[in-house]
């Protein structure tokens, strides 16, 4: 029975097979699927159609399900995800996985070349040049040609076992190809990475689901490889390139070129960009060529790696504590501020507002890697005329939020059509509606993205302050149907939480205790936590101070709310609409039945900062920005985000931005954090 060439897919019914016949067919199918994986993913030369491959794969799945005692961890069906692990175990590497010394300066590279020339007693020792992948370094071990284990680099001596996730990567062979002698033991080093198109698609999915996108492909690859559940890594656009033999009981090649050739012969993919060189001039030309084409490659590289070719010369050069003397990384200059818009996606916020977001080729902005930027709304996107494929200038608005400042015109470059807002919500599929400059999903908590966002907001530090309930946990609670509204949070048990990825018994109990401990809150914090549209912290405080109790706020009419100083008709309408909604009223009753108690707002005390307006710029050491705002407002002051002639004080923290210059131009009093704290203490 042979499924490697012209496979016959006219199978005998599973029920008509005995165990011996099934075992023989399973062995042949595994061999056939592995062979066709090799042709498709490694050689890029498939011999059968996708339809035939699918039939082979599904037949193998069918037989393994019918004969469970014939299942095997090395089966290619395991690539779609196995049972979750309880934790990532620590494993020791056979030999240290060294890091590379990295240089930006060409003269330092010249110095390295001269040191090798001196040791080799030759003006032109042989080097091998490789692209420096910006991925996750891994050790992979084979025994008798079969995949045994894979682990992260860790600290170089000890890493984490990620075998269950590595098995899901199609370009990693579970069985080595018969190419000459396969050693009984083989440890190789590679780099797991994510291709750019796949990274953009993954971030699109995350943004549309209301999750934070990955900062760059490396973070995405590392994050997926460290998941407890391999189904989260399965099917993701992950690849792996190999570049070193770490240990083997077989024969060692004499040169690194031969190492790369042997890896390829075993079915372990090496980079097609690898090249030999014999001088600094050739190395410099390679560095310049790859730097020029890095934006056109389908994977991220951040430099080149220069390696001595002869293995014996490497041995004589030796190693430092953490890096070899026979290799060097020559980094590229980081991308600065100007980058490409790879996609435009729509994010659904907790209030249902659809916001266009630009997914960017990762770029360094003020020391921070930026891979996304808000486009605010359709009108703003149209005004700046931002489209997929555009080159743009990125800034960090307000010193924090990435924003596209402008499009950089490229004469003669054909542009993509303008982006159109979707007619349906990307999270739940509901028809969207337009209100002014904004598009809205009207589905409310039946929209998964809105529910996830609402849970995160409710648990936030300035709201109910529920520790351990972050984006990932909120997403899983919604995804698994454990929470349909905020009241459901209080019904989630320890066992439910322990079933979530990343939670063991202790962490599940901690989160459960944190949720159950969040059953008492001051009225203003609770109003803010509910996520009522247009009701931020300041408005929540005003409502709480005016009405004093939840019952009075929830039964107030529009005129009563609009009469509160500083609140307009839109806030009044949003607040009354929220409390008149039957679903919201039902949820509030269930929350109170679960033991939730809302403390009445205490009467206003001294208001020594009344009439004073504060603005903050830069980071504070002792307070978060929101905590600082709350301190000001609790003493009667006002905290705003922009400097104007009405600003009384600018509080200057670490790395202040343009607000400091604006304040000086307007003659605004500038104080540091300690002066601000002294002012609070005095009052």
Is 52 annotated to bind a ligand? Reply is yes
Same domain, 594 and 620: no
Domain end residue (candidates: 331, 355, 387): 331
53 is in an annotated binding site: yes
Please check whether residues 209 and 150 belong to one and the same domain: yes
What is the tally of structural domains in the chain? 5
153 is in an annotated binding site: yes
Q: Is 447 annotated as a binding residue?
A: yes
**Strands across the sheet containing 136-143:** 146-152, 136-143, 185-194, 238-248
pTM of the model: 0.60
Q: Is the pLDDT of residue 614 over 50?
A: yes
The CA distance from 276 to 283, in Å, is 9
What CATH number does the domain containing 372 carry?
Answer: 2.40.50.140
Residue 132 annotated as catalytic: yes
Which residue among the candidates 132, 236, 310, 659 is catalytic per the annotation?
132
My answer on whether 532 and 663 are in the same domain is no
- Kindly state whether residues 284 and 364 are assigned to the same domain: no
Q: Supply the pLDDT for residue 82.
A: 60
Q: pLDDT tens for residues 347-369?
A: 998 888 999 999 998 887 766 77
Tell me, what's the pLDDT at 185? 95
Res. 316: pLDDT tops 70? yes
- pLDDT digit string, tens, across residues 543-583: 998 999 999 999 999 999 998 877 888 899 999 999 998 98
Helix orientation angle between 582-593 and 569-580, rounded to the nearest 10 degrees: 60
Mean pLDDT of the chain: 88
Q: Which residues contact 289 (CB under 8 A, 6 or more apart)?
A: none
289 is known to lie in a ligand binding site: no
Question: In this predicted model, what pLDDT tens digit does every residue of 217-228 receive, in sequence order?
Answer: 888 888 889 888
Q: Which CATH number goes with the domain that contains 317?
A: 3.30.470.30
537 and 643 part of one domain: no
Reported as a single tens digit per residue, the pLDDT across 171-216 is 899 989 876 688 999 999 999 999 888 888 888 888 777 677 787 7
Flag whether pLDDT at 506 surpasses 80.
yes
Q: What is the mean pLDDT of residues 418-441?
A: 90
Same domain, 20 and 52: yes
pLDDT for 399 beyond 50: no
The reported pLDDT for the residue numbered 367 is 63
Tokens 């040609």 belong to 145
- The residues, any chain, with a CB within 8 Å of residue 457's CB and separated by 6 or more, are 350, 463, 529, 531
Same-domain pairing of 197 and 298: yes
pLDDT at 336: 62
* pLDDT, tens digit, 9 for 90 and up, residues 27-85: 889 888 888 887 776 666 788 887 788 888 888 988 988 888 888 877 888 776 566 66
User: Could you tell me the pLDDT band of residue 318, with boundaries at 50, 70 and 90?
Assistant: very high
Nearest to 352 by CA among 420, 419, 434, 460: 434
Number of Cβ atoms within 10 Å of the Cβ of 265: 14
Question: For residue 53, what is the domain's CATH number?
Answer: 1.10.287.610
- Same domain for 468 and 501, yes or no, is yes
In the listed set 555, 577, 599, which residue is the last one of a domain according to the structure?
599
360 in a labelled binding site:
no
For 331-347, what is each residue's pLDDT tens digit? 988 666 789 999 999 99
pLDDT at residue 125 tops 80: yes
- Annotated ligand binding at 176? The verdict is no
1 in any annotated domain: no
Query: Given the structure tokens 């005095």, which residue do they identify?
Result: 682
Per-residue pLDDT at 510: 93
- Given this model, what pLDDT does residue 628 score? 87
In this prediction, residue 376 carries a pLDDT of 84
Q: Which domain holds residue 27?
A: 14-72
Task: For residue 501, say whether it is annotated as part of any ligand binding site.
Answer: no
Is 443 annotated in some ligand binding site? no
> 134-151 pLDDT, tens per residue?
889 999 999 999 999 999
pLDDT at 605: 61
Whether residue 137 is annotated as binding a ligand: the answer is: no
Looking at the structure, do residues 250 and 124 belong to the same domain, yes or no?
Answer: yes
The predicted pLDDT at position 261 comes to: 94
Cα–Cα distance, 655 to 409 (Å, whole number): 31
């Amino acid at each position: 029975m042979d499924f490697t060439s012209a496979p016959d897919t006219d199978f005998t019914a599973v029920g008509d097979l005995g165990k011996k016949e099934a075992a023989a067919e399973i062995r042949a199918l595994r061999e056939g699927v592995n062979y066709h994986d090799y042709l498709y993913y490694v050689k890029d030369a498939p011999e059968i159609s996708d339809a035939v491959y699918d039939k082979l794969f599904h037949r193998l799945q069918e037989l393994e399900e019918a004969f469970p005692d014939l299942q095997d961890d090395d089966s290619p069906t395991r690539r779609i995800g196995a049972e979750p692990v309880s934790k990532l175990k620590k494993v020791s590497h056979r030999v240290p996985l060294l890091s590379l010394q990295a240089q930006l300066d060409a003269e330092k590279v010249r110095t390295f070349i001269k040191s090798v020339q001196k040791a080799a007693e030759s003006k032109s020792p042989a080097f091998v040049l490789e692209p420096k992948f910006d991925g996750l370094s891994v050790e992979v071990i084979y025994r008798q040609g079969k995949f045994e284990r894979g682990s992260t680099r860790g600290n170089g001596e000890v890493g984490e076992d990620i075998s269950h996730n590595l098995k899901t990567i199609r370009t990693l062979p579970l069985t080595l190809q018969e190419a000459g002698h396969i050693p009984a033991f083989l440890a190789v080093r590679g780099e797991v990475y994510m291709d750019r198109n796949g990274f953009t698609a993954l971030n699109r999915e995350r943004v549309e689901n209301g999750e934070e996108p990955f900062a760059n492909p490396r973070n995405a690859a590392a994050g997926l490889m460290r998941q407890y559940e391999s189904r989260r890594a399965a099917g993701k656009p992950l690849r792996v390139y190999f570049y070193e033999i770490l240990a083997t009981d077989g024969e060692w090649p004499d040169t690194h070129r031969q190492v790369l050739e042997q890896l390829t012969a075993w079915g372990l993919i090496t980079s097609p960009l690898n090249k030999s060189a014999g001088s600094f001039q050739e190395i410099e030309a390679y560095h310049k060529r790859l730097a020029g084409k890095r934006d056109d490659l389908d994977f991220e590289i951040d430099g080149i790696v220069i390696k001595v070719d002869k293995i014996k010369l490497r041995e004589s050069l030796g190693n430092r504590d953490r890096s070899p003397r026979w290799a060097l990384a020559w980094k590229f200059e980081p991308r600065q501020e100007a980058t490409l818009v790879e996609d435009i996606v729509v994010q659904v916020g907790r209030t249902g507002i659809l916001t266009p977001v630009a997914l960017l080729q990762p770029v360094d902005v003020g020391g921070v890697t930026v891979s996304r930027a808000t486009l605010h709304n359709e009108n703003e996107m149209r005004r700046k005329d931002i489209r997929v494929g555009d080159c743009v200038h990125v800034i960090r608005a307000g010193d924090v939020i990435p924003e596209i400042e402008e499009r950089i015109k490229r004469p003669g470059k054909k542009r993509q059509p303008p982006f159109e807002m979707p007619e349906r919500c990307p999270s739940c599929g509901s028809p969207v509606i337009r209100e002014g400059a904004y598009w809205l999903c009207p589905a409310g908590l039946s929209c998964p993205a809105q529910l996830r966002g609402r849970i995160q907001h409710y648990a936030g530090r300035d709201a109910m302050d529920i520790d351990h309930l972050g984006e990932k946990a909120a997403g899983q609670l919604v995804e698994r149907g454990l929470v349909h509204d905020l009241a459901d949070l209080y019904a989630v048990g320890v066992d439910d939480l322990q079933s979530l990825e990343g939670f063991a018994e202790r962490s599940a109990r901690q989160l459960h205790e944190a949720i159950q401990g969040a059953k008492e809150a001051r009225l203003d914090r609770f109003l803010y936590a509910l996520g009522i549209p247009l009701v931020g912290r300041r408005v929540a405080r005003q409502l709480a101070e005016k009405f004093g109790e939840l019952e009075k706020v929830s039964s107030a009419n529009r005129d009563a709310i609009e009469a509160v100083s500083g609140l307009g008709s839109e806030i009044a309408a949003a607040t009354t609409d929220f409390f008149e909604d039957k679903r919201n009223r039902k949820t509030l009753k269930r929350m109170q039945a679960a033991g939730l108690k809302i403390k009445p707002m205490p009467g206003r005390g001294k208001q020594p900062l009344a009439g004073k307006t504060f603005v903050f710029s830069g980071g504070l050491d002792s307070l978060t920005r929101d905590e600082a705002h709350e301190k000001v407002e609790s003493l009667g002051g006002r905290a705003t985000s922009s400097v104007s002639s009405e600003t009384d004080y600018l509080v200057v923290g670490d790395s202040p931005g343009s607000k400091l210059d604006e304040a000086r131009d307007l003659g605004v009093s500038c104080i540091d954090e300690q002066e601000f704290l002294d002012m609070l203490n005095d009052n």
